């Protein structure tokens, strides 16, 4: 399975101490160089910078130079590179949270999952407690609508 991830899901999974579910669910996850750089920035949380400084074996960083693509111009560099990398590799899934990026990836025929979807899949696999993980996620800057929460918690019963 080929899975490409953007910055936001990795960032939040690190912050809630659930980053290892990516490796457990997918075996290997690829990120473009721009995502690596975003996770390494001085403004990133310390735990995120420490984690990316010594990434796990299941994370692969790919150097990538993208040709200008006007349809992706409104996205940040990490999202653009993640989408193009996922396209180039015919990835099975791209892990992406931001709505504009998700729409662009879906228009290109990519299968998109976000942080909440990863947590839901991990809970189905018995890798974590969904309610506890979502509660920790809500203590970060991550936004999740009450309607989505109701559906998630109804599904987990």
- Say if residue 69's pLDDT is above 80: no
Give the pLDDT band of residue 154 (cuts 50, 70, 90). confident
What pLDDT was estimated at residue 72? 86
What pLDDT was estimated at residue 71? 82
Cα distances from 7 to residues 21, 86, 101, 113, 125, in angstroms, run: 16, 14, 12, 13, 24
Out of 6-15, 67-76, 107-116, 142-151, pick the least confident.
Answer: 67-76
Q: Output the six-digit token pair for 119.
A: 């947590």
Out of 59-68, 120-129, 134-143, pick the least confident.
Answer: 59-68
Number of domains into which the chain is organized: 1
What pLDDT was estimated at residue 152? 81
- Per-residue pLDDT of 13-58, as tens digits, reads 999 999 999 999 999 999 999 999 999 999 999 999 999 999 999 9
CATH number, residue 145:
3.40.50.1010
CB contact burial 61-78 (16+ within 10 A = b; e otherwise): ebebeeeeeeebeebbbb
Closest C-alpha to 117, from 103, 104, 133: 133
**What string of DSSP letters covers 91-109?**
-SEEE---HHHHHHHHHTT
Q: Which domain holds residue 21?
A: 3-155
Stated pTM of the model: 0.93
């Amino acid at each position: 399975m080929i899975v490409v991830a953007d910055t936001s899901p990795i960032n939040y999974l690190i912050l809630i101490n659930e980053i290892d579910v990516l490796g457990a669910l997918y075996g290997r996850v690829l990120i473009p160089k721009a995502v690596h750089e975003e996770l390494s920035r001085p403004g990133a949380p310390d735990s995120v910078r420490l984690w990316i400084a010594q990434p796990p074996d299941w994370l692969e960083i790919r150097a990538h130079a993208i040709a200008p693509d006007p349809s992706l111009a409104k996205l940040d560099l990490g999202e653009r590179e993640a989408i193009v990398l996922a396209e180039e590799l015919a990835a099975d899934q791209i892990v992406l949270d931001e709505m504009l990026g998700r729409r662009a990836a879906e228009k290109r025929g990519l299968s998109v999952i976000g942080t909440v979807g990863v947590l839901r899949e991990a809970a189905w696999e018995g890798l974590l407690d969904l309610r506890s993980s979502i509660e920790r996620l809500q203590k970060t800057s991550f936004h999740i609508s009450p309607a989505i929460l109701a559906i998630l918690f109804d599904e987990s019963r």
